[in-house]
Chains A and B, each alone.
Chain A
Amino acid sequence: MAYSDKVVDHYNNPRNVGSFDKSRADIGTGMVGAPECGDVMKLQIQVNASTGVIEDAKFKTFGCGSAIASSSLATEWLKGKTVDQALEIKNTDIVNELSLPPVKIHCSVLAEDAIKAAIDDYKEKQGAGAPAEAVTH
């Protein structure tokens, strides 16, 4: 399979790799996927409670190059956005940015799910908004 230059770049130089302490109140953690499906993404956001702005984001991904690139790109996009703005990121934006082929669209869906799961987790910790919903797709 041929990869787009952007996928290769994210694979070779993944942005924001790492982990936050998930017990912290200002951290939201989303983990989606399953090992037997071949991809698991963990995406974390650090939110400024007074402004609602995502000040930092980190990820770790087990999966193909497109899955790594999708989650790496997601962390870049999340930084500086408010939580509400972050919810507007759609998997199709990731598909377009990375030129993902049809067979890799599920990687972008997983990244969108990871963003939502991280935000749900953060909101739940804050005791505001809707309780975290189980991610199904």
Chain B
Amino acid sequence: MKPIYFDNHATTPVDPRVLEAMLPYFTEHFGNAASRNHSYGWTAEDAVEKARKQIASLIGATSKEIVFTSGASESNNLAIKGVAEMYAEKGNHIITAATEHKATLDTCKHLEKKGCRITYLPVKGDGLIDLDMLRDAITDKTILVSIMYANNEIGVVQPIAEIGKLCKEKGVLFHTDAVQACGKIPVNVIADGVDLLSLSAHKMYGPKGVGALYVRRKGPRVQLTAQMDGGGHERGMRSGTLNVPGIAGLGAACEISQNDMPTESVRLRGLRDRLRATLEANLEEVYINGSMEHRLPHNLNMSFAYVEGESLLMGINDIAVSSGSACTSATLEPSYVLKALGLGDDMAHTSIRFGIGRFNTEEEVDYVAKKMIDVVNKLRELSPLWEMFKEGIDLSKVQWTAH
């Protein structure tokens, strides 16, 4: 039996309707969208322009403002490095947050080495940034604020419209990595005051390897220094032959998500709340990480105190989820996102992220909840920390032999 897939923040399966939209562009309509002098090229170009409209419609943009990329990591790189280079004369200061995706953080670190000054805003205990702190961080050298729309681990949704308003007041460009939000909750670049926005197909039931960057054309007209040189595709901002089937898939994924969002988000929220309620009703000492109020409808991130995350995953090996435990990461460090919320390493080690998706069912939620409860109880019987907690020992006062 295939494991139940509850890791929809990592990636999503391609919706069959999306696949349908892509297939003709592999074999039958294989043309290069940049070929201007024959029908193969025109057909490919039509597909690309249709997708551009579908994407623009999802985020309240115009189709000329959409630049295709290989995914959100590339979009983030292009937005941040592109602005840093283009506006270098205006300033060299960029503001981002401690809980951003590595594609943003590592891009900023790269720029730091090249002489930019980066402010990494801390977040509050609920995972949200403090707007006053952002306001205070902006200087006359600040050229860009890059704050993600929704977090990939804890699903918290930042106050994007307020950030957009503040950036506009201060005359600073605003980029948001909206890869987890697009297609899941309403996103509108006008209402949100966003100047640059990254999105990716594979997080919304589209194919991997294709994404887009929204680049505002009016009020202000944002310019970028290209990070990929070549044939001058995408208004010179991103050279490279367009991935026509992928782009057709991204477009279809956006249209489907836009149409289904009102019902889908309600359904997923119901499933998520059912999972949470069952876990909380049957287990003591479980804690939600991040704001429940400002959160994606399909995300749940919980710490199961006194049970180590990797051993938990081992017990639920017929369920695909991820953990903030160090043991599951390449670096052997627990999740930097959870640590930024002020969680101790001990609680970060016990966290599990559930990402419920379009193809999950209520039966699956009930199965996952039951399995989690069984395994947590079993591992707590094994846990010396649980035993000490039950004896009333304050674990923070124990002298541990750190190693």
Chain A residues proximal to chain B, CB less than 8 Å = 1, 3, 8, 11, 14, 17, 19, 31-42, 60-65, 67-68, 103, 106, 109-110, 113, 134-137
Known A-B contacts A35-B346, A35-B395; the reply to A40 vs B384 at CB < 8 A is: yes
CA distance A12 to B183 in the complex (A): 40
Q: How many chain B residues have a CB neighbour from A under 8 Å? A: 30
In the complex, which residues 305-342 of chain B have their Cβ closer than 8 Å to any Cβ of chain A? 306-311, 314-315, 325-328, 332, 334
Q: Which chain B residue lies CB-closest to A7?
A: B314
**Closest Cβ neighbor of A32 among chain B residues:** B401
A75 to chain B, nearest CB (A): 12
A40 is contacted by which of B309, B326, B334, B385 (Cβ under 8 Å)?
B385
In the complex, besides A35-B344, A64-B325, 12 extra interface pairs with C-beta distance below 8 angstroms are A35-B400, A36-B345, A36-B402, A38-B325, A38-B326, A60-B384, A62-B307, A62-B383, A65-B310, A67-B308, A113-B403, A135-B401
Assess the A36–B344 pair: CB atoms within 8 A. yes
A11: chain B residues within 8 A (beta carbon): 311, 314-315
CA distance A14 to B378 in the complex (A): 11
Interface residues of B in 364-388 (CB under 8 A from A): 381-387
A135: nearest chain-B partner, CB-CB: B401
Residues of B within 8 A of A (CB): 306-311, 314-315, 325-328, 332, 334, 344-346, 349, 381-387, 395, 400-403
Question: Which residues of chain A have C-beta atoms less than 8 A from B383's C-beta?
Answer: 60-62
Q: Looking across the interface, which residue of chain B has its beta carbon closest to that of A14?
A: B382
For the complex, what is the distance from the CA of A134 to the CA of B346, rounded to whole Å? 22
8 tightest Cβ-Cβ pairs between the two chains A and B: A34-B400, A36-B345, A35-B346, A42-B384, A64-B310, A60-B384, A65-B314, A38-B349
Chain B, residue nearest A19 (CB): B387
| A64 near B311: Cβ-Cβ < 8 Å | yes
Shortest CB distance B328–A (Å) = 8
Asked if B382 and A39 make an inter-chain contact with CB atoms under 8 angstroms apart, the answer reads no
Interface pair B384/A39, CB less than 8 Å apart: no
Contacts of A68 in B (CB 8 A): 311, 382
B346 touches A36 (CB 8 A): yes
Cα of A106 to Cα of B385 in the assembled complex, Å: 19
26 pairs across A/B with beta carbons < 8 Å? A8-B314, A11-B314, A11-B315, A33-B401, A34-B400, A34-B401, A35-B385, A35-B395, A36-B402, A38-B308, A38-B309, A40-B384, A42-B387, A61-B383, A62-B308, A62-B384, A63-B311, A64-B310, A64-B325, A64-B327, A65-B310, A65-B314, A68-B311, A68-B382, A113-B401, A134-B401
Residues of B within 8 A of A65 (CB): 310-311, 314
Q: Quick one: given A17-B381, A33-B401, A36-B346, are A3 and B325 in contact (CB under 8 Å)?
A: no
Chain B residues with CB under 8 Å of A40's CB are 384-385, 400
Inside 8 A of B308's CB, which chain A residues have their CB? 38-39, 62-64, 67
CA distance A53 to B394 in the complex (A): 34
CB-CB under 8 A from A63, the residues of chain B are 308, 311
CA distance A1 to B175 in the complex (A): 36
